[in-house]
A and B are shown apart, each in its own frame.
Chain A
Amino acid sequence: MTVNAARELRDGQVCLVGVGPPNAAANLARRLHAPGCVLVYESGAIGAKPVSLPLSIGDDDLAATADELVSVPEMFGYWIGAGRIDVGFLGAAQIDRFANINTTVIGPYERPTVRLPGAGGAPEIAAAAKAVIVMLRHSRRAFVERLDFVTSVGRGVDPGVVTVITDLGVLRPGDDGELELTALHPGVEAEDVLAATGWPLRVRKPVARTEPPTELELTELRALRVRDPGE
């Protein structure tokens, strides 16, 4: 999942990342094919160059290595809101067939079964970034017919904007904005993905196969994680 997300990034792109898998993907890309990738953290660091994976987006290492530090209102106003982000990464607890995302609640809003952290920067990243990569694990609990809450709006109908990368494969929207299975990871069959999706998922034929991670990709990924083996 992380390696495939890293491969989506091109040198020189401005990428907005959070902690977790997107952070690993963007930093991996910087170590490999996209050394000129500009990493932006919503906490206010622009052009951060962390040597290992930051533990939170408020890490000292991000501030110390950044080209510029800005306040949070400036980050969301001049940089994210104004459309200066090429690729924005998002996670999700739930996603629907149009790549709308829920990170707010599972169950009714007033008394939820699971209260999730909430919106954070996601709605603006989803709306204003030129491209959006959603990373999440594939399961029927996550890929649902109907979201319990719309936290961020998917832009499936805008061509080429949305890519969904899971531990099973890659999904991209068709012409009408509905997600289609476009690639499978090694060892995964289309049936596995259909079984893990809560709606009748369309399959774009022929389905591509993603390349397994190379030795170099795995070595660099491990090197990034050296500081915090627990991550």
Chain B
Amino acid sequence: MTPDIVYDQLIGMGCAARLIFSYGGNPGVGSLHRFRDAVEHGWPRDLEVVEHSHAGLAKAYVAGASRLPFAVLRGYQGTDLPAQNTSVSSIECPFTGERLTAVRALNPDVAVIHAQQADRRGNVMLWGLSGVQKEAVLAAERAIVTVEELVDTLEPRPHAVVLPAWVLSAVAVVPGGAWPSYAAGYSVRDNAFYEAWDEISRDRERFTAWMRENVLERGA
């Protein structure tokens, strides 16, 4: 959907060959400069883009989670998006004859999400703005969840999504794992870092130095 800073880092380090997305920006700040550099100049390598709208990509996850081959929606019509994406086509409704857009299901090899709590049996609960996290987990072949906290019992909450242990491959306790984004009830968005990233990522050398210092040489 919306690749965040971690995607910019993967792209800038040459770890990504293809990006399936619907909005490639630094949320609330501007551009993802490593993403731009890869698409505009092929640095450090070419990046294939498979581009949707939010509505289309959300539907692709829903179809994937349902183990259906595709989903239908009214979007994309009249835009240049279908011509650039072979996962977008059209289909006639068998009941009304209406021309609708079809999007191919998306079934990732692995989904990685962050949630608030897990219990000791490995059931996971997340709440707040849940996005497409439930669909991504259920669409994927394997799912890894990092959580803020391990608890004895998951207490029911409004708007909570519960993912039972048996649909997950692994759960890891990683407090602050959403940083610099937020985890409702645990941490708020570190907006200063999102703004700082705009500067860090703008320049290839500065980006590479930052990654060396903060990721490669940090170790586990």
Contact A71 B79, beta carbon cutoff 8 Å: no
**Chain A window 125-167, contacts with chain B (Cβ cutoff 8 Å), 1 for yes, 0 for no:** 0011000000000000000000001111100000000000000
Does any Cβ of A come within 8 Å of B151's Cβ? Answer: no
Are the C-beta atoms of B61 and A73 separated by less than 8 Å? yes
Report B28 CB to chain A, min CB distance, Å: 4
Q: Which of B39-87 contact A (CB under 8 A)?
A: 39-40, 51-55, 58-59, 61-62, 73-81, 84
Partner of A60, one of B2, B55, B135, B184: B184
Contact stretch, chosen from B16-24, B197-205, B211-219: B16-24
CB distance from B120 to the nearest CB of A (A): 27
Q: Mark B148-159, 1 if CB is under 8 A from A, else 0.
A: 000000000001
- In the complex, the answer to whether B53 meets A123 with C-beta atoms within 8 Å is yes
Q: Shortest Cβ distance from B128 into chain A, in angstroms?
A: 5
Q: Which of B61, B134, B182 has the most CB of A within 10 A?
A: B182
In the complex, how many residue pairs between chain A and chain B have their CB atoms under 8 Å apart?
148
Chain A interface, DSSP helix/strand/loop, else mixed: loop
- In the bound complex, CA of A104 to CA of B1 (Å): 15
User: In the bound complex, how far is the Cα of B189 from the Cα of A128, in angstroms?
Assistant: 31
Chain B's interface size range is 35 or more
Write the chain B residue with the least CB distance to A152.
B79
Q: Pick the contact of B80 from A104, A111, A230 — CB < 8 Å?
A: A104
B169 close to chain A: CB less than 8 A: no
**Closest A residue, CB atoms, query B134:** A71
Interface membership of B97, Cβ < 8 A = no
Contact status of A55 and B28, CB under 8 A, knowing A60-B182, A71-B135, A118-B23: yes
> Contacts A63-B184, A72-B131, A72-B132 given: A120-B54 contact, CB under 8 Å?
yes
A221 proximal to B (CB < 8 A): no
Stretch at the interface among A1-9, A39-47, A175-183, A187-195: A39-47
B128 pairs with A123, CB closer than 8 A:
no
B33 to chain A, nearest CB (A): 10
Who on chain A is nearest to B58 by CB? A73
Q: Is the beta-carbon distance between A45 and B129 smaller than 8 angstroms?
A: yes
A56 close to B129 (CB less than 8 A): no
B interface residue numbers (CB < 8 A to A): 1-2, 21-25, 27-28, 31-32, 35-36, 39-40, 51-55, 58-59, 61-62, 73-81, 84, 128-132, 134-135, 159, 161, 181-182, 184, 188-189, 191, 194-195
With A71-B161, A150-B80 given, can you name 5 additional A-B contacts, CB distance below 8 Å? A59-B182, A62-B129, A63-B129, A114-B36, A118-B51
